[in-house]
Structure 1
């Protein structure tokens, strides 16, 4: 159990009971508070795993308002804290209310120290197990319909896909090249009621303008030279399923008008044909283009834009997905090593730092190609920085002391600003004493405020 996990905060205003509890829990790292402000200051400073909380605190020692207010503020600041409430003998209503407010357990006065010890020990164990579970979950990459990523930006995109997929709304996926737009389109299809139907994709930028219409709408035999048989277009092939119009921003204006008619009437007319064919298709569109800018330039129809963007989902570039580059790199390394029969097992520390810091202008596609190439060319068991060809990185791979000092300095500067230089208020905001403030100001080379408190 770590030092922080062994910290027990006792919130009790009775001096005699404080001494009794101090003796009973001497093997824990104890901090004791007699009121709510002190308790919150100690909470911020020590972040105890468990809090033993009396409900009757000054200035409402005869009541419970201060006790319940303390519980609420502790859980707001550190939600995973285990709070054990101490209340009067037989006061079951407040005991039950405290559990409803988020407390872990309760104990009645007069205290049975043997029972209380068992409750406290169990609370520490539960806190430790929950912390380990959170750590393991954070290390396991979230996999959503074939898409990997734990970052907040990706989790938000997952939630939008889950919400929109069961509907019949037309979805517009926006994102740079290589952000996984087709993967997300397939996820929309698989999570919809059409998952048993076909998923058909067509890249509007990869097909010459003269052929794109025939690919989308099909053609009749003899419609033009070389049309030797009747051929269905992609729209018809996707009936009862989903059609992805990838890179729709590159579609020529002349074809946009015909596509708009399809959106409005849900019928297609093959080239050289006279028959209107009704089709039932879910349309998903994707583009890396700035469609509003294309509309302003006269290169994209505004009415079509509103048809295709009933719900728009922005897929974040890899540089905005904190932590995902390393997660994806490890995934791609395992795939590449298995595919090429290599025994590469991981990355050096400098390689991981370079992967995390590189902006990846080609996004996931560039990362996958980089890792695949590095695995093929690797001479060692681990992929080194040189094999990635991403450039040099700083030597401070993980300088925790520097990170802590920088964070500490920023926190002090922010507190000084909020408190307008009043050191008493700064100490309260940071949960430390005034002498400690003076030491920290000197440590970080910060100028002491000249105005009196």
Structure 2
């Protein structure tokens, strides 16, 4: 029997499970890896291209809440987005596995499994992984990224395109869900480091105890569970790009350690005395006002200037009104392709409500609602109910009128400043001419 050319990784802390799964899988797939220490998964993914991971949900004796599995799932999908994850769980713990599906897992299988079902599921997952990698190769032509027509986002991408060609550090600013990860990846993919690693680190999820070991690595024996020499995220990103997300959440005493690495361009693993040289492009992001935090002495001024060679601000969706419908269609096509749903479309009422919704969660909220809709919709038509927007408060319903009043006054001020030159007023406001005209009509401005 000819084996499928694929690499499968099984992660479980029980040696009997690892042995049994390897015996079953090695008859059908070319490369089988097993891992009893889940903390090593990122290192293994850095060394090998893994198509499918079979991931156990629980690793602590006496705990079966699946939190470790959920955490590892996020780590795997962050570091290797094209790797497909199948969750392994015991009967009666399906709720946790379903939560994992919402976070990007492909499917789940109950333990003990049926061998034939396991083989069939892994083969299907391999096909999904191949599909994801094929789509990834299209990134170079720009089709993977949606920019839009609003002036603010065009400016952001134009600036990103210029800075991508350099080695400059970049600070990305913007509210949650505005696409900072996508922008960081865009900069990496358009740089001369595109063939090298792109490592994303959510600094907000690293507590003080693991901050240094995760970022800088550690030597064997550095602490109780340090059984082998292990590189940190900076070393894994060497020659490529490291994206430090939520940098505004790093405590002051850890900011000093981070600054030292950025200044010296070298990292010293915990338990070692010899520094290791680094060649890493630094991109950081935050939804905090770092200037304000610096003035309040909550963020180091020297670190702020170190990471802020170039600053790019990503606008919220409420400032990209003309982009909402085409972005929604882009995401609909993306999700339809992901779920094999064929050609989908929004009905008229759904599109109307998409443009009216406040989108406080920005692009992330829009994407999540559209993914839900693709799963629920009938007859290839997405409705307001599918999007779960029928009970949502929309932007027009403003109880006190304050927001509308502020917007109207801001537009009036810009128009007066430029003697009603629409192009100049729109540029100052970060709007396109069309968006400005719509707002002028809404507030009855410019009518004599």
Match of 1:367 in 2: 366
Q: Structure 1 residue 344: deviation in Å?
A: 6.3
Q: Please state whether the residue corresponding to 2:321 is helix, strand or coil.
A: coil
Cα deviation, residue 330, structure 1: 1.3
Please report the TM-score for the alignment, with normalisation by the length of structure 2.
Answer: 0.54
Asked whether the 8 Å contact 1:147–1:183 carries over to 2, the reply is no
1:337 positional shift? 3.0
Q: Give 1:317 deviation, angstroms.
A: 1.0
Q: Across the two proteins, how many residue pairs are aligned to each other?
A: 264
Alignment match, 1:164: 163
Aligned to 1:138: none
- Cα shift at 1:145: 5.4
Task: Name the SS of the counterpart of 1:146 in structure 2.
Answer: coil
1:296 correspondence with 2:283: no
CA deviations on 1:203-227 (whole Å, 9 max, x unpaired) are: 1011222101111111111111111
**2: CA distance, partners of 1:209 / 1:286:** 19
Shift of 1:174: 0.6
- Report the equivalent of 2:385: 386
Q: Which runs of 5+ in 1 are unaligned?
A: 1-141, 395-413, 420-443, 449-453
> Alpha-carbon deviation of 1:295?
2.0
In the TM superposition, what is the alpha-carbon distance from 1:341 to its structure 2 partner?
4.2
Residues 191-340 of structure 1 aligned to structure 2 (within 5 Å):
191-340=190-339
SS of match in other structure, 1:385: coil
Structure-2 separation of matches of 1:195 and 1:326: 31
What secondary structure is seen at the aligned counterpart in 2 of 1:390?
Answer: coil
1:326, distance to aligned residue in structure 2 (A): 0.9
Report the Cα distance in structure 2 between the residues aligned to 1:366 and 1:214, rounded to whole angstroms: 33
d(CA) in 1 for partners of 2:277, 2:335 = 45
Deviation, structure 1 residue 388: 2.3
Paired with 1:145 and 1:156, the residues of 2 have a C-alpha distance of 19
Cα–Cα, structure 1 residues 381 and 231, in superposed 2: closer, same or farther, change >3 Å?
A: closer
* Cross-structure match for 2:46: none
Equivalent residue of 2:385, what SS?
Answer: helix
Between 237-246 and 293-302, report the one with greater CA deviation: 293-302
CA separation in 1, counterparts of 2:314 and 2:389?
A: 24
Aligned to 2:14: none
Q: Which whole-Å CA distance do the structure 2 matches of 1:303 and 1:240 have between them?
A: 24
Give the SS at the match of 1:200: strand
Paired residues of 1:344 and 1:382 also in contact (CA < 8 A): no
Conserved 8 A contact 2:267-2:275: yes
Q: Residue 298 of structure 1: CA displacement?
A: 2.7
CA distance in 1 between partners of 2:333 and 2:219 (Å): 48
Tell me by how many angstroms 1:322 deviates: 2.4
SS at match of 2:374: helix
Alpha-carbon distance, 1:311 to partner: 0.4
Over the aligned positions, Cα root-mean-square deviation in angstroms equals 3.1
Partner of 2:150: 151
Q: Tell me how far apart the structure 2 counterparts of residues 145 and 330 of structure 1 sit (CA, whole Å).
A: 14
- Secondary structure at the aligned position of 2:284 is classed as strand
Note closer, same or farther for the CA distance 1:339–1:188 as it changes in structure 2 (3 Å cut). Answer: closer
CA distance in 2, matches of 1:369, 1:260: 35
How many Å separate the matches in 2 of 1:321 and 1:332?
16
Specify the SS of the correspondent of 2:364.
helix
Distance in 2 (alpha carbons) for counterparts of 1:302 and 1:164:
23
2:52 corresponding residue in structure 1: none
Q: Distance in 1 between matches of 2:220 and 2:239?
A: 25
C-alpha displacement at 1:284, in angstroms?
A: 0.6
Contact residue 215 and residue 234 of structure 2 kept, 8 A: yes
The structural deviation recorded for 1:245 is: 0.6
1:229 partner SS: coil
Summarize the alignment of residues 10-159 of structure 1 with structure 2, pairs less than 5 Å apart.
143=142, 146-159=145-158
The 3 A distance-change label for structure 1 pair 144 and 255 is farther
TM-score (norm 1): 0.54
Distance 1:378 1:192 in 2: 39
Residues 243-265 of structure 1 show CA distances to partners (whole Å, capped at 9, x for unaligned) of 11111111121111011111221
State which structure, 1 or 2, has the greater radius of gyration over its C-alpha atoms.
1
Cα offsets for 1:8-51 (capped at 9, x unmatched): xxxxxxxxxxxxxxxxxxxxxxxxxxxxxxxxxxxxxxxxxxxx
Deviations 1:169-195 (A, max 9, x none): 110011111111111111111222222
Distance (whole Å) between structure 1 residues aligned to residue 337 and residue 168 of structure 2:
40
Deviations 1:230-254 (A, max 9, x none): 1111111111111111111111211
For structure 2, the residue ranges without an aligned partner over 5 or more in a row are 1-140, 395-414, 421-443
